[in-house]
Structure 1
Amino acid sequence: MSRLKTGPHRPPGAVPDAFGPDPVATRPLLLRAGAVLRRQAPYLVCAAVFWLIMAIVVFHTPLTGDFGQNAAAVARVSENWRHPANPVIKEPGRGSPYFSPYAVALGLAARATGTAAWLALRWSALLNLAVLAAGVGVYARTLSRRPLAPVYALAAFTLLWGWQPELWSGFCGLASLTQVAPYPSTFAVGLTFLLWAWTDRVVRRGGGWWAHAGLGALGGILLLIHPITALAAATGVAATIAGRERTWTRRTAAAWTVTLTVALTVAAAWPYFDVFALAGDTTVDAVHRRLYEQLLPWYVLALVGLPALAWRARRRWRDPLVLMFGADCVIAAYGWFSAHYTYGRVFALLLVPLQFALAVELAEIPPWTRLRKVLVPLSAGALCVAFTAQVGAVVPSSVLPLPISRPEPWNDYRWVADRVHAGDVLLTNGYQPSHVLPAYGVYTVWPAWPDPSTTVADRNRRSVAVSSFFAPRTSAATRRAVVHRYGVQWLLLSPGEHVRYPGTVIAHHPSTRETLIHLP
């Protein structure tokens, strides 16, 4: 009987595991693994579906927005990773913040595999979506052990923005992700969630010097990839430490000092640009003023999480989500009152405490409580509005019962890229070609997006040159001077433009009515 209870018979002196693991000893491990799998199964399924649908949509979305700028940075690294040229104008690129570790890694990968830069950037969307989904799930589990908490968090994070979805880098609503999934900002947001989850683990369970140094290294890389996201990430780290750390000792202070020191050292050691010089840079402030002018249309649906966040604050004012929300609000307010509107980019993560508080409380609160009776109808109404606003960017119009407005698709400029060699300079005053063509390695005269590595005077001079070239009364001599000064080899005329040029018409697009001209 004892043999039946203790397992298979073993010869005297035999090693205990010589005949394989003891079934009785391994049973608790298998039970724990099964329990973990069952607990995580709902989110694994939802995250996989999210990843698959978004990947399909992203690969069918035309190149738009800042894709050209980011792909151009990848192309310059692929051409010369030691001294890449400016992403969009034919000038040296030293000091350009677009040469982040993200762009350099993609550029080196494109160079090693022979992949076109724009394709390498588009394929990176698969990685970014995976990192984002993993980050949301891991961070949600630090707030709740309920199986549905990560599921609710993913839904809230991608849907609860506003009734008017904004397609902006770092904004991870479903509609925005269809365009910005390949951008470094999306990768940075995913890393932010992983950084917060790792910080929570270190604070709760303790961590050695190497764990704190690893946190610092990840924070430094995040700062280089997307500085404004890193600022919001830092508030989350600080909120987690302040909310979770119970006792402060000299060793605790020293450990977190190591984390900060490593982060600053990693950021300062990056050879391509000085990330700390961006703190006072006002180059792109005017562009970001819009983030403050559309507060209700872009962010209002996230406010349904305010009762849940207030409930958490009432229970414990040192709750990390509460502290994070307060700190991000201070940063956003500073951006407005200082007219340094670039800090408005913090809105991309300012909504996270509202979204995640709602998700966690819906998963945690028993059905009969008063708060749940408030949150459920509020959430249902907000999600209906959000779904209507966001679904048009993901679901084909043919399967929708009602017409839903969706962003106007941009034109495809591969017909130009097939004729213009990478590294050639093209002159155009069209908004879309100025943004898209750099993705294929084409230089433009005027940078479509301000780059702090170029001076304001040079950008203004280039803008005046483009305007004067296309002005109807500009003399032929002035146009020749512009062509000579900037080494222009190609001219792209928008519909209805009549400019005298000493070149050859190479192609004429029948639908956009744009004309491509090769200059001698």
Structure 2
Amino acid sequence: MTSQDALTPRPAATLTRGAVRGATALRGGRSWRPTPFFVCGGLFWLVMTLAYWRVPMCCDFGQHAAVVERLRASLLHPRHPMADLPGAGSPYYSPYALAQGVFARATGLAGWEVVKLAGPLNLLVLLSGLNRFVRTLTSRPWAPVLALLAMVLLWGTRTAWWSGYLGLLSMTGNLGYPSTFAIGLTFWAWAGAAKLRTGGPWWGYGGLGVLMGVILLIHPITSVAALIGLGATAIPPPGTRNRARSHNRATLSPLTGWPTALLATAAVTSIWPYYDVLSLVGDSSVDHIHRQLYTEMPARFWLALIGLPALWLRFRRDRRDPLAVMFALDVLVIAYGWVTGHYTYGRILGLTLVPLQFSLAIALAAPRPWAWPRRTLGLCAATGAALGFLTVQAGAVVPRGFDQPPMWPTYVWAAQHIPPGDVVLTDGYRPTRSLPGYGPNLLAPAWPDPALDERERERRLTAVRAYLSPGSTRSERTAVARRYGVRWLLLDKSQRLPAEAVMVAWSPRTGEVLARVDGGSPRESR
């Protein structure tokens, strides 16, 4: 710059554009203003974190806490999550779980404490991913807020409580689960795919492929819906040629970019040492558990159909609309699960509602929300949200007067007497799902796992029934205890305490009894 240029005054507009971001309006700069989603999403994060923390360990929580406990004991060779058996091949040992195990070892926290702390982090990933994805569909500032409200309220008038279901009530139990983290990453992946629809840098496609590989390893069934959404979002708009947008060698067209992403996904999943994700293809061991996902579907999900008119209009305007394509393909996958008996595919039902919910939110966030017929749609949405809140979801944040999340009893009273790794024999529904989260092992795991042959699990379940049978003899019980290394019994108040067992503790809330037996060293499990 010459001396003459330096002395020449700049136009006021130039001074304004060059002002430091964050300067006050008095100095001609722009002050940062929080977006509606930053405020509303932040409040939602705080309220739901507190709501999640008030719900005790229940349902699948103990399983995920047990995974952290096993990794805390051995990062490289963790045992089976719930039994004193080898854990090689268990899909629970994902990158997400490994990170939790490293954190537990570094901090000394117990598995259940790590899972509790994971809830706020997972929710942050979920909310930021939602905001990012919705912003690729519309620039309307209130659309992400309305999408969040629709996602947590517009379900049905009967409780849908399952991992990966993002209704307000269900979130109080599953925020700390891998499925919630995987769904948050899925939203981020869809947002990334939208930016690469017409081409992009090779590292963009490669990074997206790595992200999809991580989702696949963390929660394989969520990856089915994630892949469907990725394909729907990545469809180039009409009139877009399949070529790179510049002559830069680092920029790829979709024709070469998406194979790059696929290769990155394959590389991530193939090098993961804990389990082979391809071994899960065709696995039907948990299909019978998921059959209940298909029961009472209208009552559980009908409020989401309020968004169907908005989704239909999007399809009428653009046959390649990502939300419309996503919804159609998700419905086909769910139908396939029903027809074939592979009911596990019903796990994507939670994400199947997203196109309906987000389409409705985007329509209501339009510049003239009260123009007919949008006014009618808005009234239906408000009525549906109120109905869903009052009939199902309110118990998540209102402690009395509504149906509450499951409030299972704690098993700290028993776990404090049991050294980590000791084998416990019990057939109670709640202790078999909760107790391993504190460190003990079960004789018979509650759920199937590819790391354990299902025939062996059935033999162990038979052994538990034989031991607890009123007609069992002392010698029969001793044989079971020694074979599997049983050192503890946890019995409910209706079960008889064997003569050779010594009561150690009992729960005044449930009447359950913890007793010590001498099972010696197991012959088969070590």
Which of the numbers 30, 50, 54 marks the counterpart of 2:48? 54
The 8 Å contact of residues 67 and 93 in structure 2, kept in 1 or not, is answered as yes
Identify the range of structure 1 (491-500 vs 94-103) with the bigger mean alpha-carbon deviation: 491-500
Structure 1 counterpart of 2:219, which letter? H
Write the distance in 1 (CA, Å) between the matches of 2:330 and 2:30. Answer: 37
Give the distance between the partners of 2:406 and 2:266, measured in 1 at CA.
42
Query: Which of 167, 171, 178 matches 2:172?
Result: 178
Q: CA deviation at 1:11?
A: 7.1
> What is the distance in 1 between the residues matched to 2:5 and 2:154?
64
Contact residue 101 and residue 225 of structure 1 kept, 8 A: yes
Q: Which residue of 1 aligns with 2:111?
A: 117
* The structure with more helix, counted as a fraction of residues: 1
| Structure 1 residues 170 and 36: alpha-carbon distance in aligned structure 2, compared to 1, 3 A threshold | farther
**TM-fit CA distance, 1:14:** 7.8
Aligned equivalents of 2:381, 2:128: Cα separation in 1: 24
Q: What is the Cα deviation at residue 283 of structure 1?
A: 1.0
For residues 378-427 of structure 1, the C-alpha deviation after alignment (integer angstroms, 9 at most, x for no partner) is 10221111111101122121xxxxx3222441111110111111111111
Q: Classify 1:34/1:63 alpha carbon distance in 2 versus 1 (closer, same or farther; 3 Å).
A: farther
Distance 1:462 1:37 in 2: 62
Instruction: Give the match for residue 219 of structure 1.
Output: 212
Contact 1:142 1:197 in 2 (8 A): yes
Is the CA contact 2:19–2:29 (under 8 Å) kept in the aligned structure 1?
no
Amino acid at match of 2:38: L
- Of 396, 399, 423, which residue of structure 1 is paired with 2:399? 396
Q: Deviations over 1:495-517 (max 9, x none)?
A: 11114241221112222111110
Distance 1:244 1:63, change over 3 A: farther
Aligned: 1:158 with 2:156: no
Contact 1:365 1:372 in 2 (8 A): no
How big is the alpha-carbon RMSD for the aligned residues of Structure 1 and Structure 2?
Answer: 2.3
TM-score, normalising length: structure 2: 0.91
- Cα pair distance change 1:46/1:36, threshold 3 Å: farther
Question: Matches of 2:202 and 2:274 in 1, distance apart?
Answer: 29
Q: Equivalents in 2 of 1:136, 1:312: separation in Å?
A: 19
Residue from 443, 446, 469 that aligns with 1:445:
443
1:404-452 CA-to-partner distances (Å, cap 9, x unmatched) read 2224411111101111111111111111011001111110011112112
Structure 2: give runs of 5+ residues left out of the alignment: 9-13, 245-252, 519-526
Task: Tell me the equivalent position of 2:222.
Answer: 229
Tell me how far apart the structure 2 counterparts of residues 304 and 150 of structure 1 sit (CA, whole Å): 18
Q: TM-score, normalised by structure 1?
A: 0.92
What amino acid sits opposite 2:181 in the alignment?
F
Map of 1:136 onto structure 2: 130
* Contact map agreement 1:506 1:517 (CA 8 A) in 2: yes
Does the CA-based 8 Å contact 2:58-2:406 persist in structure 1? Answer: no
Aligned twin of 1:86: 80
Supply the distance in 1 between the matched residues of 2:179 and 2:29 (Cα, whole angstroms): 36
Q: How does 1:152-301 map to 2 (within 5 A)?
A: 152-203=146-197, 206-242=199-235, 244=237, 246-249=240-243, 251-301=253-303
| Secondary structure at the counterpart of residue 308 of structure 1 | helix
Q: Shift of residue 48 of structure 1?
A: 0.6
Alignment partner of 1:432 out of 414, 430, 433: 430
- Partner amino acid for 2:449? D
Q: Structure 1, unaligned stretches of length 5 or more?
A: 1-9, 17-21, 398-402
Change (3 A) 1:53 1:368: closer
Partner of 1:329: 331
C-alpha separation between the residues in 1 aligned to 2:131 and 2:429?
Answer: 39
Shift in Å, 1:161: 1.1
Looking at structure 2, the residues matched to 215 and 75 of structure 1 have their Cα atoms a distance apart, in angstroms, of 31
Q: Which amino acid aligns with 1:493?
A: L
Number of residue pairs the alignment of both structures matches = 500
1:468 aligned to which of 466, 469, 477 = 466
User: Matched residues, percent identical?
Assistant: 43
| Amino acid in the other structure paired with 2:65 | A
Question: Does the 8 Å CA contact 2:172/2:405 hold for their aligned counterparts?
Answer: no
Deviation at 1:369, TM superposition (A): 3.9
Secondary structure at the counterpart of residue 506 of structure 1: strand
Deviation at 1:377, TM superposition (A): 1.9
SS where residue 507 of structure 1 aligns? strand
- Select between 482-491 and 248-257 the one with higher mean Cα deviation: 248-257
Find the aligned partners of 2:454 and 2:428 in 1 and give their Cα distance: 21
Give CA deviations for 1:229-280 in whole Å, capped at 9, x if unaligned: 1110001110011254722249421111000111111111110001111111
Question: What does residue 26 of structure 1 align with?
Answer: 18
SS at match of 2:504: strand
SS of residue paired to 1:203: coil
Residue 290 of structure 1 deviates from its aligned partner by: 0.7
The letter of the residue matching 1:404 is F
Distance in 1, matches of 2:219 and 2:272, equals 13
Supply the AA of the counterpart residue of 1:290: Q
Alpha-carbon shift at residue 184 of structure 1 (Å): 0.3
Confirm or deny that 1:495 pairs with 2:489.
no
Quick one: which amino acid aligns to residue 466 of structure 2? S
Distance 1:507 1:28, change over 3 A: closer
Secondary structure at the aligned position of 2:489 is classed as: strand
d(CA) in 2 for partners of 1:338, 1:259:
31
Q: 1:140 Cα shift?
A: 1.1
CA contact (8 A) 1:81 1:108 kept: yes
Which of the numbers 96, 99, 105 marks the counterpart of 2:93?
99
